[in-house]
A and B are shown apart, each in its own frame.
Chain A
């Protein structure tokens, strides 16, 4: 898995992260083609945010990468020092963070916070150029009267406007990869849609690859090309977004989808829930982490983490799920046993 062809702008291979003795990420694989938008979905505590911080090398105190690698534009960044990483962060790889209300420094002007990202990677950029570029960035994310607003402070911006500013900061240096960690969770629904639209336009016009971390499957369905479903620190299923929503191959993905009120879904159809709670990361079973909550679990599920099983949808792209019975799950979705299989 070490070969990094130009087809992968971003690759995570077998990433393991621990806080103290507790392993939070247990071997995560993720790959992005140029311009690809991949969603990482999962419940709170599944390790999504840890993944975002780990690839940026910004795990808090006590957190460390124990094995695996992260490469950006074919370059392994896991072995880099903090100073070397400073040259990668914000230039090749940047972050849009969860909560726009707390993600901007309250005592610095918007202009200085955008300018900081520009100056950091463009030594000797003149004041005038920084200001000019900041104005361009602000108007590109749809902030009106950008010249005036550069001199303002975060508290003079609404939540949605702040998230636009954060997006402007993240794309300031045209990064190859953008990690968006729950970018719309703290916003109301109308604003969410606007922010996602801005993000979508920008990454499309600039060819930025995106990892969208969220628990909002609705956002994923609209925005992403591909979805990775995360559970207890591992990606348990990876599939094209349309295919996953149509026919999940992992029991967890299926349960997750069944518990959603997605648009287009019949109101009469009862919403399902997943029994039990996500396992404590301190006491994981040796086998499949979902097995204790899984309706389809068998004794062999508890023995070892299953090898990813490739599932091939007819006419679709190759996909895999980390389940011993993935084929069966795929075949029996929505009770349609073997429905249009091989058709």
Chain B
């Protein structure tokens, strides 16, 4: 493979991502303007006079054309001005900065659990027919059916109430501990960086149950997907050829079968990751996790434009960014995708 097609591949993907981003932001902006609700009324309150409302609308720029509003919003967004909450008056960027690390930490841990668990289970389940394959298959089928918040409640009941080995739904840290100095915003990492072992173990204990509850559904989904793809790939003729060279069964399974079967799982993992980052509202509620979920739900209920808009736009950025990364990773995993003009397909 020469360098030129790879560069063109990257540029092509980047351009595609940019176009998608512009379209997604425009669409989300338009939809939020079209839905009923009046920010001016929200800010000024139910007793404001029509004159005051009109003046406020004018000041907020709500009387401008939607295109002009969009341009000024994007301009502000790019320069770090994400607007302020109409309900609380707080800066959207500071609200999100305060809330996002908690959501991200939970999502990342859940993601790692789901992906590592899925790869291990799918590899073992397809390596040898036996009880493990049956167990993995049944559990992943169940996992697809459990609502995550229900699973969270059951985990709390078992590990916190009955066994007492896990803290209750008390957020990220026990109330008698102080949060470690913020560096990454992840309590587990920050406490380690600060050398605070007590805070670290407490943060891990608080993370375990919500992360497990959150990981169950994506684990089940990815396990089933990867198991099916591994089983199919294992019947490919080149697998017999690899074995005929004298390469052992496990090496063949990991180096050749997994590599070839990985593409759909990588693509889906990207989507799973994006979903985990942007939406674990119910789990955050169950575990009293101080993430973005609560703010978002509140924002929607109160028709708090700026919060919702920023969140939607961020979600779009996350989805598109992750898809871009997935495209790049897929290109590395499968050389055929690097051919210019080839489509990324699982």
CB distance from A334 to the nearest CB of B (A): 40
Q: Check if A247 is an interface residue, CB within 8 A of chain B.
A: no
Within 8 A of A (CB), among B322-343: 333-336, 339
Indicate the member of A53, A102, A107 with the most B CB atoms within 10 Å: A107
Let me know if A94 and B245 touch, CB within 8 A: yes
A117–B336 Cα distance when bound, in Å, is: 23
Given contacts A98-B237, A153-B336, contact A58 B243 (CB under 8 A): yes
Indicate the member of B129, B248, B339 with the most A CB atoms within 10 Å: B248
Let me know if A82 and B249 touch, CB within 8 A: yes
The contact string, 1 if C-beta is below 8 Å from chain A, for chain B 218-241, is 000000000000000001111011
Let me know if A105 and B246 touch, CB within 8 A: no
Number of B positions contacting A (CB below 8 A): 24
Let me know if A61 and B129 touch, CB within 8 A: yes
Note all chain B residues with C-beta closer than 8 A to A60: 235
Judged by DSSP, the binding face of B is: helix
Note all chain A residues with C-beta closer than 8 A to B129: 61
Let me know if B246 and A120 touch, CB within 8 A: yes
Indicate the member of B247, B334, B339 with the most A CB atoms within 10 Å: B247
Note all chain B residues with C-beta closer than 8 A to A155: 335-336, 339
Judged by DSSP, the binding face of A is: loop
Let me know if B1 and A152 touch, CB within 8 A: yes
Q: Check if B93 is an interface residue, CB within 8 A of chain A.
A: no
Let me know if B237 and A107 touch, CB within 8 A: no
Number of A positions contacting B (CB below 8 A): 38
A153–B259 Cα distance when bound, in Å, is: 14
Let me know if B245 and A117 touch, CB within 8 A: yes
A153: contacting residue among B1, B247, B260, CB under 8 A: B1
Q: Check if B256 is an interface residue, CB within 8 A of chain A.
A: yes
Note all chain B residues with C-beta closer than 8 A to A53: 240
Q: Check if A83 is an interface residue, CB within 8 A of chain B.
A: yes
Let me know if B245 and A116 touch, CB within 8 A: yes
Let me know if B246 and A89 touch, CB within 8 A: yes
Q: Which residues of B contact A (CB under 8 A)?
A: 1, 129, 235-238, 240-249, 256, 259-260, 333-336, 339
Chain A to chain B: the 9 pairs with minimum beta-carbon distance, closest first:
A90-B246, A95-B244, A90-B245, A117-B245, A89-B246, A102-B237, A153-B335, A120-B246, A105-B238
Q: List 22 A-B contacts (CB under 8 A).
A: A56-B243, A58-B244, A82-B248, A83-B248, A86-B248, A89-B245, A90-B246, A97-B237, A99-B237, A102-B237, A103-B238, A104-B241, A105-B242, A106-B260, A107-B335, A117-B246, A121-B246, A153-B1, A153-B335, A155-B335, A155-B336, A172-B245
Q: Which residues of A contact B (CB under 8 A)?
A: 53, 56, 58, 60-61, 82-83, 86-91, 94-95, 97-99, 102-109, 116-117, 120-121, 151-153, 155, 166, 169-170, 172
